Structure 1
Amino acid sequence: MGQKTNPIGNRLGIIRGWDSNWYGGNDYGDKLAEDAKIRKYIHARLAKASVSKIIIERTLKLVTVTITTARPGIIIGKGGQEVDKLKEELKKITNKEVQINIFEIKRPELDAYLAATSIARQIESRISYRRAIKMAIAAAMRMNAEGMKVQISGRLNGAEMARSENFKDGRIPLSTFRADIDYALAEAHTTYGRMGIKVWIMKGEVYGKRDLSPLAGMDKQQKSSKPSGSGKPNGRPNQQRNNKRK
């Protein structure tokens, strides 16, 4: 069954938390559609900032948007001008006060979404898909990933019939719920049509209980405790600790 389901959804509530955190009453559908609109707008506006995960939290009068990115300087801008502009633009979408937190991804090679989009952009630039995929896998394995798998589907090299190819290094135990597997899907738009790129990255295994709160995994990277527009981290990054079973 693990081979057929989304690895992220399959681990929700076990070792993975939710990307949207709010209570939905009768307006559940409106909030869900608004979350999708916010994510689509941020990914389009910050296409060059290597944005990965966007976590949205809601209270009665405040919407908190947490952006994880490999290039935080582009989002913050000089003196925080760009992040202030983004906050005002999101206010128009939500009609509420907006707070923005920015977290830097220390190892973008181990982020499935960034890896998938990087492969897609290279294919659109007419780079060989085999070369782009093998470079991405090699980069992830150099950063101590336990395994990585890439599946590409479409009219590869302009072939008349669409097909799929798989590339894999290491192990990807999809049926092991304690396995910390990141997954993402990206699309490359070429002259021959659309190609789909799926990426699985195995980061390790999680033993014991894990904090599933939205910012739990990010406290080890970079956390901003100031209101939106500051864009300045507070505190030192902590080393990642894995509780191994004795």
Structure 2
Amino acid sequence: MGHKVHPNGFRLGVYRNWESKWFATDKEFSALLLEDIKLRKMLFARLKNAGVARIETERSSSALTITLHTAKPGIVIGKGGTSVDQLRDELEKMTRKRVRVTIQEIKKPELSAQLVAESVAAQLEKRIAFRRAVKQSLMKTMRAGAQGVKIRVKGRLGGSEMARIEWNREGRVPLHTLRADIDFGQTEAKTTFGRIGVSAWVYTGDFPTERPKRVAEEPTDGEVPVAAALAETPLVAEALGLPVAVPAEPVPVGVAEPEPEPVASVPAAAEAPAARPTRRRTAATATAPNEAPAKPKRAPRAVKATTEEAAPKPKRTTRTTSAEAKPATRRTAKKKE
């Protein structure tokens, strides 16, 4: 059975970066990894209504930096920054380290796969039909500028007794193309019939793969290009195979150059008109009015004697029947007797 690979993990290290950027020894690695998981779970639960799409962590020897990518930074900051201060104090108590919180605003939340999945889950919790919720989210994402989007819901859809999977797609979502910028997000909707999983793929185009072209270095003011400097010295230019600059003749100072004498303009000879071709006229022979014009005599055909006509034809031989050629049998001889 085929399974879908996680798009973010598939492109990790190629076009995407890690969300946790830190190094640790073998003894400390498991403890720091568990701490990151607890931090993310607590932040997503507390900032559920703030539209947090991604959380990045960076660690140093004595400090922890947390970057929140949110669509509603006002809810995270609060009035006068009180909410951020409270959040920082809680994180410092949990980690026992100095914590720095930075906030980055998401300008187009419709293009974030995590926020698209959360909006569909919120509609399902409000008892809105899943097909209508998926269709509305698809239209909003495509209007925001996405080239393709796919949303999948699975569970007891519509309160049915048997769980099933339903999905819808608009545009194109090339999952196998590594250079494709595909964002993936998933969440769960808690309904009275059970949990419904929601997954979203958003394709916004390809990552830039062209390298910037190198600009040719131009000589600054006062500098002379190397090729021009070498061309001025004939010995070096001949050794390197460069064109040798021919020095100009010196002009004496204070002596005016003689002006060239004016040349009288000679009128161009008029071209003679081309001779028209003449037709040859044949002499007409006088004929009587009642006489018909004489027909030209045909030349007698030459009789060619071929070798086939000269050779005598072979005589026609008569074909003998099989009865005449075969000798008489015993039965025919007895009958004759």
Give the drift of 1:79: 1.1
- State how far apart, in whole Å, the 1-side matches of 2:81 and 2:187 are: 30
What's 1:16 paired with? 16
- State how far apart, in whole Å, the 2-side matches of 1:175 and 1:2 are: 13
1:64 aligns with 2:65: yes
Q: Which amino acid aligns with 2:170?
A: D
What's 1:106 paired with? 107
- State how far apart, in whole Å, the 2-side matches of 1:82 and 1:206 are: 36
- State how far apart, in whole Å, the 2-side matches of 1:193 and 1:104 are: 33
What secondary structure is seen at the aligned counterpart in 2 of 1:8? Answer: helix
What's 1:218 paired with? none
What's 1:131 paired with? 132
Give the drift of 1:160: 1.2
- State how far apart, in whole Å, the 2-side matches of 1:62 and 1:39 are: 17
Q: 1:29 to 1:192 in 2, by over 3 A?
A: same
Q: 1:2 to 1:161 in 2, by over 3 A?
A: closer
What's 1:216 paired with? none
What's 2:267 paired with? none
Give the drift of 1:4: 2.1
What secondary structure is seen at the aligned counterpart in 1 of 2:14? Answer: coil
What secondary structure is seen at the aligned counterpart in 2 of 1:131? Answer: helix
- State how far apart, in whole Å, the 1-side matches of 2:106 and 2:2 are: 27
Task: Give the count of matched residue pairs.
Answer: 210
- State how far apart, in whole Å, the 1-side matches of 2:118 and 2:210 are: 32
Deviations 1:4-57 (A, max 9, x none): 210000000111100000002121111111001111111111111111100000
Q: Which amino acid aligns with 1:55?
A: E
Give the drift of 1:209: 7.5
Q: 1:16 to 1:117 in 2, by over 3 A?
A: same
Query: Structure 2-normalised TM-score?
Result: 0.61
Superposed, 1:121-160 pairs within 5 Å as: 121-160=122-161
- State how far apart, in whole Å, the 1-side matches of 2:145 and 2:3 are: 23
Give the drift of 1:2: 9.7
Q: 1:141 to 1:127 in 2, by over 3 A?
A: same
What secondary structure is seen at the aligned counterpart in 2 of 1:31? Answer: helix
Greater RCO (Cα-Cα under 8 Å, separation 6 or more): 1
What's 2:256 paired with? none
- State how far apart, in whole Å, the 1-side matches of 2:89 and 2:125 are: 33
- State how far apart, in whole Å, the 2-side matches of 1:61 and 1:88 are: 16
Q: Which amino acid aligns with 1:175?
A: H
Superposed, 1:158-197 pairs within 5 Å as: 158-197=159-198
Superposed, 1:188-207 pairs within 5 Å as: 188-207=189-208
What secondary structure is seen at the aligned counterpart in 1 of 2:161? Answer: coil
- State how far apart, in whole Å, the 1-side matches of 2:3 and 2:138 are: 20
Give the drift of 1:208: 2.1
What's 1:226 paired with? none
Give the drift of 1:93: 1.1
Deviations 1:176-223 (A, max 9, x none): 00000000111011111111111000011012279xxxxxxxxxxxxx
Query: Structure 1-normalised TM-score?
Result: 0.83
Q: Which amino acid aligns with 1:137?
A: L
Q: 1:76 to 1:2 in 2, by over 3 A?
A: farther
- State how far apart, in whole Å, the 2-side matches of 1:113 and 1:192 are: 23
Structure that is richer in strand per residue: 1
What secondary structure is seen at the aligned counterpart in 2 of 1:17? Answer: coil
Alignment RMSD (CA, Å): 1.5
What secondary structure is seen at the aligned counterpart in 2 of 1:27? Answer: helix
- State how far apart, in whole Å, the 2-side matches of 1:111 and 1:206 are: 16
Aligned residues: percent identity?
A: 48
- State how far apart, in whole Å, the 2-side matches of 1:14 and 1:203 are: 17
- State how far apart, in whole Å, the 2-side matches of 1:174 and 1:17 are: 18
Q: Which amino acid aligns with 1:154?
A: G
What secondary structure is seen at the aligned counterpart in 2 of 1:14? Answer: coil
Larger radius of gyration: 2
Unaligned runs of 5+ in 1: 211-246
1:178–1:205 Cα contact (<8 Å) kept: yes
Unaligned runs of 5+ in 2: 212-337
What's 1:89 paired with? 90
- State how far apart, in whole Å, the 2-side matches of 1:121 and 1:47 are: 11
Deviations 1:84-113 (A, max 9, x none): 110000001111000000001000000011
What's 2:119 paired with? 118
Q: Which amino acid aligns with 2:164?
A: R
